[in-house]
Amino acid sequence: MSKKEAAPALYPLGMDGFLARFASRFSLEANRAAQAFATEAREIEGVEEAVPALASVQLRFDSTGETAPARRAKLEAALTDLLASRDWLSLPERAPARRWTLPVSFDGSDAPGLAEAAAETGLTEAEAVRSILEAAPRVLAIGFAPGQPYIGLLPEPWNFPRRTSLRDVPPGALVAAIRQLVLFANASPTGWLQIGRCAFRPFQPGAPDPMPLRQGDEIRLSRVSADELSALEAQPMGGARLEVLS
């Protein structure tokens, strides 16, 4: 890693964008910085799109026409100024604006990787499930696939690596690794361990809001049985409940 990697910095990203990177490795501080920076950068003239990821933000502008180089230079200056305007890595944690409660089954075929995950945490399966239910993790990023949330951080015992061999998981799979949860909309191969399954789908192509989760949302999980989950499959939101907190 070069020296430039140490501090938040702005990089070119293709023809029509920049990347503001707050850290090379994930941290909650860098994640908060990325979310806050994206919110403010969206207000800068010329920013067409701000895409916050785990610890960085992509900013896109219109790169067509003769005035594009001037626009690019002006935007680079504005983003550099914004980056220098405060200590982005020392922002206080903000209270969540929204809270989701998602029913999840940790039973049998809904949780084929639960035993392996519990062994990794050093907890019994019941204790592992309880620690997930008691946690109030947040949506750290939306991405990879439409609406797909990266949720975290879980308690420290959940800090085990992704598997190098991939396994297929079904739609609604709730998977865990590296103190994070991911909820899949579609069937997918993954190196994360499936510890449960939701009837809620983070991507609903025909719905008015097809990708309902937002970065920063708080996620609470509520345990249901496999049978109860099957019944929830018939509901459009899979039993998910949204509270708007502020």
Partner 1 sequence: MSAVLKILSAGPMLTVQDLGRPGLAAQGLSRGGAQDTLALWEAAALLGLSAPVAGIEMPGMGGRFTVTEKTRVALTGAPMRASLDGRPVPWHSALSLAPGEVLSVGGVSSGTTGYLTPGGGIASEPVLGSRATHLAVRIGALLTEAEALPLGKDRAASAPPQVLRVAPRFEGGQIRILPGPQTELFSPEQIRAFEAASFTRGPRSNRQAIQMMSEAEPLWHMASGGMASEPIQAGDIQITGDGTPFVLGAECQTIGGYPRIGSVHPEDMPKLVQAGAESPLSFRFADPAPLPTGAERLRALRRAITPLLRDPATIPDLLSYQLISGVTAGDDLERD
Residues forming contacts to partner 1 in the complex (CB under 8 A) are: 1-2, 4, 11-17, 19, 21, 23-26, 30, 38, 48-58, 63-66, 68-69, 72, 141-148, 185-186, 203, 205-206, 210-211, 215
Among 17, 14, 9, 77, CA closest to 48: 17
173 SS3 class:
strand
- Shortest separation between residue 225's beta carbon and partner 1, angstroms: 29
What is the Rg, in whole angstroms, of the alpha carbon atoms belonging to the chain?
A: 20
Token readout for 178 is 């590296």
Q: Could you give the CA distance from residue 228 to residue 232 in angstroms, rounded to a whole number? A: 6
Of residues 51 and 91, the one with the C-beta less far from partner 1? 51
Of residues 108 and 205, the one with the C-beta less far from partner 1? 205
Tell me which amino acid residue 1 is. Answer: M
Residue with tokens 């910085």: 33
- Shortest separation between residue 19's beta carbon and partner 1, angstroms: 4
* Cβ neighbours, 10 Å, residue 81: 10
Of residues 30 and 79, the one with the C-beta less far from partner 1? 30
- Shortest separation between residue 15's beta carbon and partner 1, angstroms: 5
Tell me which amino acid residue 168 is. Answer: D
Of residues 56 and 194, the one with the C-beta less far from partner 1? 56
Of residues 64 and 85, the one with the C-beta less far from partner 1? 64
- Shortest separation between residue 133's beta carbon and partner 1, angstroms: 26
